A and B are shown apart, each in its own frame.
Chain A
Amino acid sequence: MRREQTLADKISGSALWRSFVRHGYPDTQRNQALIIASNIFLHIHPVKIKRYATKVTYTFCLGGLSFFMFLVLVGTGVLLMFYYIPSSDLAYQSMKDIESSVTFGQLMRNMHRWSAQGMVIAVFLHMCRVFYTGSYKPPREFNWVVGVLLLVVTFLLSFTGYLLPWDQLALWAVTVGTEIGGATPLIGSQVNMILRGDFEIGQSALIRFYTLHVLFLPLVAATLMAVHFWRIRKDGGISGPL
């Protein structure tokens, strides 16, 4: 017996739809497998997974949330870049403009700021979860090292972004931060010079932090994340009880 074709059936059966989505509605096991395997955004997942790996009280979604916050930061960050000017003369005024005259500018800035803080916390807690469940043990030892690198990159991303508003909070927080770097034994003054590009924090430091923040460090983070996620699959999925 054939049921009547609905509008949804006609759309999802059309040549245009089928050129775009190559499988039927995912209510059969075959289509549920195809939707994961044939979609570039979903194929980060395996088709099937151990039942314990879907338990929220095991992962607390911390790794996923860290990644999601990274995506929110990229999205809001690109929008902020349309208005922000990385010049020591104009940066502060452009921040004021974002807050007062750009539509949703204040909201975008707030979301960027709070996700950045949230990402530092989430990444740290994710490391704790992975540690306390013993998930770093072989064969996952290299992915643990990649994770430690991602923690460092997260710190650096947050720290380089801290200078950009060019207000008192930014200037002095980064002054203290780079002074800590400048205290490195033996090569302290060189480290300080590399970070600041000058003897004090000014235009050179701002453009360095800006370039690191919007281009270099996000690329490093994205690359390391790709390795991190790939290795989860290659090391047999997320850990679980033996």
Chain B
Amino acid sequence: MADIAQQTPGGQVPSNTIDEAKRQRLLELVRGRAMARPTDLAEDEVMVWPSLVVVEAVAATVFLLILVVLSVLVNAPLTDHANPNQTPNPSKAPWYFLNLQELLLHMNAGIAGVVIPSIALLAIAAIPYFDRSPLGVGILGTSAKGRRIIGFTIVFVGLLLAIMIYADEQTGRTQFGVGAWMRNQFDAPEIVYNQLLPLLMVAILIGIFVAIVRGIFRPTRRELIIALFTAFVVSYVVLTVSGTSFRGPGQNLTWPWNLPLVRH
């Protein structure tokens, strides 16, 4: 600034007062914001009071109204006194665990009820350590391709699981007959036909699914993880619906309208 002040109107600078190598020029003056003004809003910002607290208050009020109306209209179930000597048929876990109960009809209970869900939860928790690219943050489904992958996965996995549940039921829940064949032909132990075989089948199915998605969509890593996560959600939903609405006495497949009245 001192340099500029010393410039003469003609642009000439007295040569004895300036070192040419250190000379600087002022290009432009920009009106700035003071840094420490906490209430100063940028263009894409709003005040939390009222902009956000209003949304929260409305959401909470609407939800509370719905909850109270529902609770006035529909009573929570209370069946007969607990009786360890009288097993209801079918006995069912709470609905959000019925996906596991459905799964354990098809394989060893420890594999279906503990090992597979534990692996699934660990894999879900690990997602951000595999997908670290910030691309697509804040956009539902990341991209048009991502949304197509979601649609494809819902249809593909949904149909596949429904067919598999039906097929395994038709073969007497013996891993589509393969388990029964191993047991009859080779006298295979339980750990082989009821634990390792189903795990292998699940792993192969996931592998085939990944290969198909790769072949059709040429996905990025994020899009592949979208396919896998969607497959998990679809499996959770399909197995839950099957367990709650299609399993009658003896856990046999039944139409929902033929189920004995089970209230949740």
Residues of chain A whose beta carbon lies under 8 Å from any beta carbon of chain B: 26, 29-30, 32-33, 35-36, 42, 45-54, 56, 58, 61, 64-65, 68-69, 72, 88, 92, 95-96, 99, 106-107, 109-115, 117-118, 120, 124, 127-128, 131-138, 140-141, 144-145, 148, 152, 155, 158-159, 162, 165-173, 175-177, 179-181, 183-185, 188, 200-202, 239-242
Contacts and interface: CB of A to CB of B under 8 A. Distances in A.
B21 interface: no
A65 B83 contact: no
Contacts of A45: 48, 52-53
Interface in B68-104: 68, 70-72, 74-84, 86-88, 91-97, 100-101, 104
Interface of B: 38-39, 41, 44-53, 55-56, 59-60, 63-64, 67-68, 70-72, 74-84, 86-88, 91-97, 100-101, 104, 108-115, 121, 124-125, 127-129, 131-142, 150, 222, 226, 229, 233, 236, 263-264
B53 A42 contact: yes
A53 B108 CA distance: 45
Given A133-B139, A167-B77, A168-B88, 14 more contacts: A32-B39, A47-B39, A51-B51, A110-B75, A114-B67, A117-B264, A124-B236, A132-B226, A133-B140, A148-B125, A162-B94, A169-B77, A183-B109, A185-B111
Given A61-B55, A155-B96, A167-B79, A136 B47 contact: no
A95 B39 contact: no
18 contacts: A26-B50, A32-B39, A49-B48, A51-B51, A54-B52, A64-B60, A96-B78, A132-B150, A141-B129, A158-B94, A158-B96, A167-B81, A168-B80, A168-B81, A176-B92, A176-B101, A177-B94, A241-B138
Nearest to B122: A148
Contacts of A240: 137-138
Contacts of B52: 45, 49, 53-54
A119 to B, nearest CB: 11
Nearest to A95: B78
A100 to B, nearest CB: 10
A110 B71 contact: yes
Contact of A133 (B74, B94, B111, B138): B138
Contact of A201 (B55, B84, B140): B84
A239 to B, nearest CB: 5
A242 B79 contact: no
A45 B44 CA distance: 17
A167 B80 contact: yes
A200 B84 contact: yes
Given A133-B138, A136-B127, A144-B128, A49 B46 contact: yes
A96 B95 CA distance: 24
